[in-house]
Structure 1
Amino acid sequence: MKALQFADGELTLAETPRPDRQGEALVRVLKSGICNTDLEIVRGYARFEGTIGHEFVGIVETAPGRPALVGKRVVGEINVGCGNCDLCRAGDSRHCVGRTVLGIKERSGAHAEFLMLPAGNLLEVPAEIPDDEAVFVEPLAAAIGISEQVEITSETRVAVIGDGKLGLLCAFAMRLKTSRISLIGKHASKLEIAKKRGIEGVLLTDAE
């Protein structure tokens, strides 16, 4: 299969074997998204080498233990815990010290024709959500995860610093909880996107 791989300081489109992890589901990738993390990996972040990419939507080819998923369109939780530590047993495999992470840590990623994840990590995508939107589920989930860590009510005042892709998604996610939200950034065009969703924009200049 074709895969976008980073190794020895170079990024190449290579012919590689399909991933092979016993007991895991095989997913045929329909679309993958380019994240800033991918760009940072190419600059040396996480010291990862291999197939990069962790934002995806795809079709399940095989799913040991969950045959009903075969043929379904899915996205996935990118963290795979060890299954044995206290965090994993408590249901928080995302913070397992020994976890692998799709396209980031010890696991081939999504910029490829196929990827593998445990079937339990896969979530079926509703038919009404197109691929171009489904591929954003992973970063959107990261943004929504803020409200899992901090209680946000309609009275909470929130400031999101940075108007990049994830900053915008964080602002959109927090807007579901409170209208008292400001997005602080340096790009008027991006702040305008937020404004259309009822989010106050604060434009910084280089002098500030």
Structure 2
Amino acid sequence: MDSCSKAGSTTTTSAVTYLAVIHGAPYTSAATIYLNDTLITQTTGIATGAFSPKYGTIRPGSYAVKFKKAGTDSILDQLVSSSYDTLNFYTLLLYNSFNSGASVTGGTAHVLKIWDDFSSVTSANAYYRFFNLAPDYPQVSVYFNGLLTQSNRTPADNAANDGFNKFQPMTAANYTITVKNAVTDSVIATSPTVSLQAGNAYTIWLSGIKSSNNSGMSINVLQAQY
């Protein structure tokens, strides 16, 4: 489908559900995805850190979801059958919880189904949500242009608190986004000159595996579009 910002106009499209995937589990290898035991990814799977640049479409219905280690029949995690409704938007998020593993092949992974609700998005503001997908950092704080916006975010806390999956309004502008260790106040990663545009929704997340200089850490900014 052609790309449209955020939820876009859904008046001309029927009988589809919109689905995106984020492989946000740095201690987990590439993963294949099955809906009702039907493979929907390439056999090589989705690489660690990869994500959908825009929503794809599936037929509305009820689906059981399985994430498997690519190239094997080993299940990383699964979700029981649930409904994917017409003209709704969903994200399947694969993540590692804090201290989940010590190698990219051995980490315990979990999958979360998120309903991406754009009903509150208006042209008056930009909208964002933030995920801490860095299992090595138990507490992080988020700054926009040096202003503390969210504090003490723990790894994949949006799995337990659905409020973190909701899009929050903010003034449309260019921002430098910085994520710091909430305990030491040291910088983990910075993303300069991020344009958050009015009427659009963005998913922002911290990812990577901790190193001595945090060279493997990054901030991802994904504009919702299909």
Fold shared per TM-score above 0.5: no
* Larger RCO of the pair (alpha carbons < 8 Å, separation 6+): 2
When normalised by structure 1's length, the TM-score is 0.27
When normalised by structure 2's length, the TM-score is 0.26
Higher helix share: 1
Choose 1 or 2 for highest CA Rg: 1
